[in-house]
Amino acid sequence: MEFTVSVQKATCPECGEKIIGRRDKKFCSDQCRTAHFNKLNCDQNKCMKNINNILRQNRRILQNLKKGKATKISKLKLLSEGYKFPFLTEEFVTRSGKTIKFCYDYGYSEDENNMITIVNRNNL
């Protein structure tokens, strides 16, 4: 009885080099492994980074405009500062039915006259 053993040489999916080492090793080096996964996640990370930058900017705007316990300003003022309304981290509905939209720990509510009241979660 004869047995034939076929040996497959594994190659690195990033650079094509022959892989030396354990049978289940997928990359020839840490650099290739890192480069491979950075390429895979690049587009997704770019989108998340852009959204996080907008959220940080929105929070900074609310923080800079808030004076005292609660600050009332016009919606136009918030827009002129560069606030992007669709981006928020949470919506909270009070017992009275008023919706407060938060960007991390700073939030705002809007009344029927397009006036914005800025609050801090710690002061609620």
14 in any annotated domain: no
Q: What is the pLDDT of residue 6?
A: 47
52 in any annotated domain: yes
pTM of the model: 0.68
Range of the domain at 119: 43-123
Region 23-27: what's the mean pLDDT?
Answer: 91
Calpha distance 63→107 (Å, rounded): 9
81 in any annotated domain: yes
DSSP H helices in the chain: 30-65, 75-80
102 in any annotated domain: yes
Q: What is the pLDDT of residues 31-59, one digit of tens each?
A: 999 999 888 877 777 888 899 999 999 99
Q: How many domains does the chain have?
A: 1
29 in any annotated domain: no
5 in any annotated domain: no
68 in any annotated domain: yes
Q: What is the pLDDT of residue 7?
A: 53
Contacts of 10 (CB under 8 A, 6+ apart): 18, 19, 23, 25, 26
30 in any annotated domain: no
Contacts of 76 (CB under 8 A, 6+ apart): 114
